[in-house]
Structures are given as C-alpha cells and as structure tokens.
C-alpha cells in the first residue's frame, strides 16, 4: 500500500464522520496501518452474538465448537462467560493442547485413530481427566483401551449417535442428514455402551446427537422447514429412548447428553434430558448462516484484500482470496465481497489462488490500494489461512492475537 493511498483512505474516513461510517469504513480506519491480506473480528458483533447464543440456549450449558473459531484467545474469552461449559475439539492433538493451556473440559467431537495423541493424553493425568473421547465403534474403543492400560488410566468416552432423519422403509428409505455414526437405535447404542465398558479401563460418560439436517441447514423454503420440524420431533423421542436404554445397560444415569448446533439451539436446549448444547458458528456468523429464522445474523469475522490492479472498466483485482469453504463444490462455499457494496466474484475465476478479479459497479470507483472486505462461508476455516487475527472495536484494533496456525497448531 502506498503512503498516498493510505493517506487518501484515512482522509476519506475522517470526512465521512464517525456516526455515518459504514462497516467497511470502520474496518478501513482500524486497519489502515496493516498490510493485507488480513483477517479481523468485530468484537462488538462477537459480544452480541455471544449474548444471543446464551439467550437462545435458555440456561442450558453451551459447549463451544472449536473448529468454528480456531483462535484460542477468543475461545478463552467466551469460556470465561457464565453459561459456557467446555470446548468441543475436533482433533485429539488439539484437545491435549487445549488442556495444556488450561481448558478443563474438552469433548472430542469425532472419533480418532491418532495413536500418538491418544497416548500423550493417557500419559498426562490432567489431560486424561479433562478429555472425553468420542466413539461409535469398538475398534476405536480398543485403541483407547490400549493407551489407557499402558498408562494405568481410566479414559472417559462419549458415544456418537446417528441423529439423521430417515423416512420410508427398506430400499425406499430416504436418509436426510449427514453420514456420521453407524449406531442409531436404542438397542444399538446400549450394546455399544456395554461393549466399551467391558474393556475395563473406559468409562461411558454419555451420548452425543448432532442433527446436522436441523442445525446446519438454513430455513430456505417451506419444505425445508417442514423436514426440520419432522426431524426435531423424531429425534426428541429417539433421544429419550437412547438415553434410557444406555442408562439401563450401564446401571447408572448419564452425566452427558450433548445435542444441537448453532442452527438448532432452542429446540435442542429445551429437549428433555439434554444436559448441554454445542455452538460455534453462531459466534462469527459466516455466510452459510444467513438464512436462519431462529436468529438475526450479526457477521463478526471478515477478511480484507487490497486492490492491486484495475484490468479494465468494471473490474478490479485484489491480492489473495482463494479461501473456499469445505463441503460440496458450489457457489455457497465461495467467500462473498461485502464492502464496498455491489462487488461480485467473476464467473470464470471465482476466488483466485493468489489474486481475485471482481466485477465492480460504476458507483464503487475502486482504485489501486483500496481495500475490499469479504465474509467467509464457514466460521473457523478462514482462520487457517492467517497467523494472526486483529480484534477490532469501533475504529481501532483492540488486540492482535494468534490463530491456531499462528500458534503452530495444524491438526486437520
């Protein structure tokens, strides 16, 4: 960025007046001294989203999904709020690292076959007490049991239960939801619980249900809302039966029944027997969460890219930008330019590897050195592209903190 461009940006922001400044102008003013590409979190929006997550949970403890944050400083700040209860980690090595930084309740949200990380957790008394592993198969349990016996520990386990909706019978069955756990019925889960505890060194704490077809699906049509309502009803009954069956098989009540996600906090939190809900994307609110009726989105995370050339009328090219979200390859996974208004990705190049061409409406008048702000399609994934994130409050950077990547944590 040239000195002249920086001066022009600051002068323009000053002349706009504080009260009338747009989001983009605020972010420009706060980060004018910083090179792009860069990622920021609007702290005021993050605080409002945190309050909203707690409100929607209605007093049920909320576990933070770390994959949707990937910034330890943010995780710690949210955990300090009453109403939040631990972290749902996505990798065993990450879980151990979080415990090393003081997190005392980590639920591993997915099964692991990382024997090195499992052994390290079993070898560490604090980690062994703090981490709950996820299983949906006895093969995973055998891996955990081997490490537990090696170090004389008793490791804690949660059972992942398929929460998808199935309609029809036999070959005509329609599966609505993600493909996760192979265990579904109360008998299936009770049998798995008994088999896990038969190892002698594993303790089943509870069960988890992630209804992705409700929590992760925007309210895009009446048909979608109908399917989501049907899924909520079916799962409410099956969840109760699963919890009762496992408790009967083990001869004791479960202390952990996890359910829900950002898109289904209210219904999961109010369901009988649920002890906690999980949320992560609701803190940053990426573009995939714009279409929900349950809450008003307040985007909190943005990344900024600078214009490096103007290849022709109606076009501007920014440096960087190829931060495409996971999932099915579609336009919904592409980042979205949000300021200046009216910018669009080019249909041929999309979000580029090292540069991104943008269609520019005449009113935008983008020039070399100007900054363009984008939102990512998913909450935490964009943080993997940056070593640091700038926490912006109003028109200033309140703090600059490392992301997982900046702390050397790269676990998948």
pLDDT in tens, 184-236: 789 999 999 999 999 999 999 999 988 765 555 555 566 566 666 666 677 77
Class of domain 3-43+296-407: mainly beta
What does pTM read for this prediction?
A: 0.88
* Intervals of the chain under pLDDT 50: 1-20
| Domain coordinates in residue numbering, the chain | 3-43+296-407, 90-283
* Residue range 90-283, CATH number: 3.20.20.10
pLDDT in tens, 357-373: 999 998 778 999 999 99
pLDDT in tens, 77-109: 999 999 999 999 999 999 999 999 999 999 999
The radius of gyration of the chain's CA atoms, rounded to the nearest angstrom, is: 23
């Amino acid at each position: 960025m040239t000195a002249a461009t920086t001066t022009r940006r600051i002068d323009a922001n000053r002349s706009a007046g504080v009260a009338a400044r747009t989001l983009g102008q605020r972010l420009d003013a706060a980060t004018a001294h910083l090179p792009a590409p860069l990622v920021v979190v609007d702290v005021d929006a993050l605080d409002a989203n945190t309050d909203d997550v707690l409100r929607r949970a209605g007093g049920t403890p909320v576990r933070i999904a770390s994959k949707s944050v990937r910034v330890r400083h943010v995780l710690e700040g949210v955990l300090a709020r009453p109403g939040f209860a631990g972290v749902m980690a996505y990798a065993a090595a990450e879980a151990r690292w979080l415990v090393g930084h003081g997190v005392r309740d980590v639920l591993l949200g997915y099964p692991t076959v990382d024997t090195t990380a499992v052994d390290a957790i079993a070898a560490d008394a604090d980690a062994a007490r703090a981490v709950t592993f996820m299983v949906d198969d006895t093969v995973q349990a055998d891996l955990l049991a081997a490490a537990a016996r090696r170090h004389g520990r008793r490791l804690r386990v949660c059972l992942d239960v398929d929460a998808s909706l199935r309609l029809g019978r036999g070959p005509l069955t329609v599966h609505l939801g993600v493909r996760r756990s192979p265990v579904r019925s109360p008998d299936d889960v009770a049998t798995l619980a008994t088999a896990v505890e038969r190892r002698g060194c594993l303790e089943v704490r509870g069960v988890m249900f992630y209804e992705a077809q409700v929590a992760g699906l925007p309210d895009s049509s009446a048909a979608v809302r109908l399917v989501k309502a049907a899924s909520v009803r079916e799962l409410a009954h099956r969840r109760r039966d699963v919890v009762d069956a496992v408790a009967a098989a083990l001869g004791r009540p479960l202390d952990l029944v996890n359910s829900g996600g950002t898109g289904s906090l209210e219904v999961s939190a109010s369901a009988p027997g649920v002890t906690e809900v999980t949320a992560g994307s609701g803190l940053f609110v990426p573009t995939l969460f714009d279409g929900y009726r349950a809450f008003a989105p307040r985007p909190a995370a943005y990344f900024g890219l600078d214009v490096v050339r103007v290849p022709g009328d109606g076009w501007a090219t920014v440096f960087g930008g190829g931060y495409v979200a996971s999932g099915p390859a579609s336009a919904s996974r592409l980042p979205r330019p949000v300021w200046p208004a009216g910018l669009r990705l080019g249909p041929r190049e999309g979000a580029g590897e090292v540069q991104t061409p943008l269609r520019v409406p005449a009113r935008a008048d983008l020039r070399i050195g100007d900054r363009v702000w984008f939102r990512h399609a998913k909450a935490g994934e964009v943080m993997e592209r940056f070593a640091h994130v700038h926490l912006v409050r109003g028109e200033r950077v309140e703090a600059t903190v490392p992301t997982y990547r900046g702390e050397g944590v790269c676990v998948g």
